Amino acid sequence: MARRLFDKLARESADPPGVTRKSYGEGERMAHALMIEATAGFGVEVAHDAAGNLFITLPGEDRSGQILVASHIDTVSHGGNYDGAAGVVAGVAAQAIFHAAGRKPPFDLTVLVMRAEESCWFPYSYLGSKSALGILDPSVVDSLKRSDTGKTLAEHMRDEGFDPEAVKRGASLIDRKRVVAYFEPHIEQAPVLVNAGIPLGVVTGIRGSFRYRNATCVGAYAHSGAMPREYRRDAAAATGEFVVRMDELWEDFLARGRDLTVTFGELMTDPQQHGFSKVAGEMHICLDVRSQDQAVLDEVRTLIDPMVNEIGERRNVRFELGLLTGSSPAVMSGPLQEMLIAAAETTTTSYRVMASGAGHDAATFTQVGIPTAMLFIRNENGSHNPDEAMDMSDFDHALTVLAETLAAPVDRWRLVRG
């Protein structure tokens, strides 16, 4: 079943050299419909919330509680087929295991397929999970615009038949008191498991971040041969120094055992203005800083303003950092980690306990107090690229561990609920 779903997802959203399933677009819509079709014979209950998040629920023995297995199914442009989708398909396949065995899960088992996780389409973190929980900032519904269409999030929601006004009011289908646990299986997006030769990772926590998505360095355009160095207002040179200084700061934090990553994902001059023989008068900058330690994020953030001010004054340029966005670090549930580890050991599946460097919707559920866990699946070649290469045997290991965990007796789940 899982192989068929992955194959159809890849085929129906093919966009060489990879796949594209845009948030609130045709590919995401197709993928949601495919999951509904795949579970049609299980006796499930299907619902959409006001934002279009999809809830597929297999009724449990005790309907007072709910277990969520969740992820997203949108992708970056020309991305891979498994980022996000692996978690959704794992949830559907777990429901299939219970159905085939003629058993009910201990509590309602809901596959939650969330919208718009990939913030390349709408520049905002965790749109789907925040809307599902009813905590999305209402101001962004009318202000966020999709990167390719220029239409607002509200317009795209309406186009898909959903209700942005209800989203702004905080409408939600999730009763947090009912939710026993949230699980998010996901491909690993780095080579740690591949290099270790281990198929699965039990995640301890998710790095938080702060981001300047639209920072600029403003100098002045000038002739490359005529303008002396001491009179230049070179935005490219100043930005280059900023990059080097931040890299040195990163190295220093790591040397002191403090978790940090620093990434300049976009550095661009203006194609309408730049030229081979011109001093660059402006640079666009996108900076992404992440850590598992909120104190590190806070400290680095306080160091950036003095840094760019000093560079700017010395090089006669001006840095405008713009809007600050980001997310808080999230710690996974200890009891749920223990359950996943016990299931891995019961099924003799090799695993590694590890942190997640990338952000995931699981962080949002953790931050509202819902017991949350993540299971990483080994994956070659990273993610957000067409070369994602999750081996189906590794997916099968993850499904085995997930199903074993979900089938735990009610008494075991009481430890999670506290």
CATH number reported for the structural domain that contains residue 110 in this entry: 3.40.630.10
- CATH, residue 227: 3.30.70.360
Helix (H, G, I), strand (E, B) or coil at 30: helix
pLDDT score, position 414 = 79
Structure tokens at 107: 């509590």
What integer is the mean pLDDT of 214-224?
Answer: 97
Please give the backbone phi and psi of residue 31, each rounded to the nearest 5 degrees, phi first: -65, -40
Domain that holds residue 245: 208-327
Domain count within the chain: 2
Are 189 and 124 found together in one domain? yes
Are 233 and 200 found together in one domain? no
Percent of the chain with pLDDT over 70: 100
Is 322 within 8 Å of 216 (Cβ atoms)? yes
What integer is the mean pLDDT of 18-46?
Answer: 97
Structure tokens at 33: 């419909």
Q: Quick one: DSSP state of residue 51?
A: T
Residue 169 neighbours by CB under 8 Å, 6+ apart: 138
Are 49 and 139 found together in one domain? yes
Mean pLDDT of the chain: 96
Is 374 within 8 Å of 68 (Cβ atoms)? no
Q: Would the pLDDT of 417 be above 80?
A: no
**Rounded to an integer, what distance in angstroms lies between the CA atom of residue 368 and that of residue 227?**
56
In this predicted model, what pLDDT tens digit does every residue of 140-153 receive, in sequence order? 999 999 999 999 99
pLDDT score, position 369 = 94
What integer is the mean pLDDT of 151-166?
Answer: 98
What integer is the mean pLDDT of 342-358?
Answer: 93
Q: Would the pLDDT of 233 be above 70?
A: yes
Are 200 and 256 found together in one domain? no
What integer is the mean pLDDT of 223-248?
Answer: 97
Are 97 and 182 found together in one domain? yes
Tell me which of 327, 354, 378 is where a domain ends: 327
Are 202 and 221 found together in one domain? no
Are 232 and 112 found together in one domain? no
Please give the backbone phi and psi of residue 210, each rounded to the nearest 5 degrees, phi first: -135, 150
Structure tokens at 167: 């989203």
Are 168 and 40 found together in one domain? yes
Tell me which of 300, 327, 354 is where a domain ends: 327
Instruction: Residue 120: name the closest of 265, 261, 327 by CA.
Output: 265
pLDDT score, position 418 = 63
**Predicted model pTM:** 0.83
Is 95 within 8 Å of 3 (Cβ atoms)? no
Are 171 and 240 found together in one domain? no
